[in-house]
Amino acid sequence: MSKTSVPAIEGWFTTDGGAPALLGSRCTTCGTYSFPKETSFCRNPACTGRTFEEVPLSRTGTLWSFTNNCYQPPAPYVPPSDPFEPFAIGAVELAAEGIVILGQMVPGTAVDDLRAGLPVELVIDTLYEDDDHEYLVWKWKVVGS
Ligand SMILES: [Zn+2]
């Protein structure tokens, strides 16, 4: 029996074929982007906007900062391994939206190979599995790696 693939967090990203995307929000008053989606107050302190539209965010960005995560993080970053194995986490700047988004780097990414400014792209990968389901999450992958 094959497992059913489901997003680990409903509504945070699309899993469409070759072009998955994070789903953020855009303030209809000032155009400020947010991820996860904003629903109540605009992040822009100078804006009183209260309405937001859901928008797919850029699928590529620039590695801004990164770290080797040596401690088991809280949900939704459930590690697929037991015992816990360290993995790299990247903070990726999306130029068009002007925001930085954290995510795991794809498995096999060596922190020693990372440097600020590298181009990265969004991929959808398995976060963890149970008997019936494969839970999906976004991860960052160095372009061309
Ligand atoms: Zn706003």
Query: What pLDDT is attached to residue 17?
Result: 72
Q: Is residue 10 part of a domain?
A: no
Q: Is residue 95 part of a domain?
A: yes
Query: What pLDDT is attached to residue 45?
Result: 95
What total of structural domains would you count in the chain?
Answer: 1
Between the CA of 97 and the centroid of ligand 1 the distance, in Å, is: 13
Residue 141: pLDDT band by 50, 70, 90 thresholds? very high
Flag whether pLDDT at 3 surpasses 60. yes
Flag whether pLDDT at 126 surpasses 80. yes
End-to-end CA distance of the chain: 32
Query: What pLDDT is attached to residue 2?
Result: 83
CA dist 83 to 2, 52, 72, 121, Å? 25, 41, 10, 28
Query: What pLDDT is attached to residue 79?
Result: 57
Per-residue pLDDT tens digits for 21-74: 999 999 999 999 999 999 999 999 999 999 999 999 999 999 999 988 766 666
Query: What pLDDT is attached to residue 14?
Result: 95
Rounded CA-CA distance 29/21 in Å is 23
Structure tokens at 15: 């899993």
Mean pLDDT of 113-133: 94
Between the CA of 100 and the centroid of ligand 1 the distance, in Å, is: 17
Q: Is residue 108 part of a domain?
A: yes
Q: Which structural domain, as residue segments, surrounds residue 99?
A: 58-125+134-142
Q: Using omega within 30 degrees of 0 as the cis cutoff, is the peptide bond preceding 83 cis?
A: yes
Q: Is residue 88 part of a domain?
A: yes
Mean pLDDT of 113-117: 94
Mean pLDDT of 62-91: 76
Buried b (16+ CB within 10 A) or exposed e, 88-103: bbbbbbbeebebebbb
Q: Is residue 112 part of a domain?
A: yes
Between the CA of 51 and the centroid of ligand 1 the distance, in Å, is: 8
Q: Is residue 115 part of a domain?
A: yes
Q: What letter would DSSP give residue 96? A: T
Between the CA of 26 and the centroid of ligand 1 the distance, in Å, is: 8
Between strands 87-94 and 119-129, the pairing is unpaired
Between the CA of 41 and the centroid of ligand 1 the distance, in Å, is: 8
Query: What pLDDT is attached to residue 84?
Result: 67
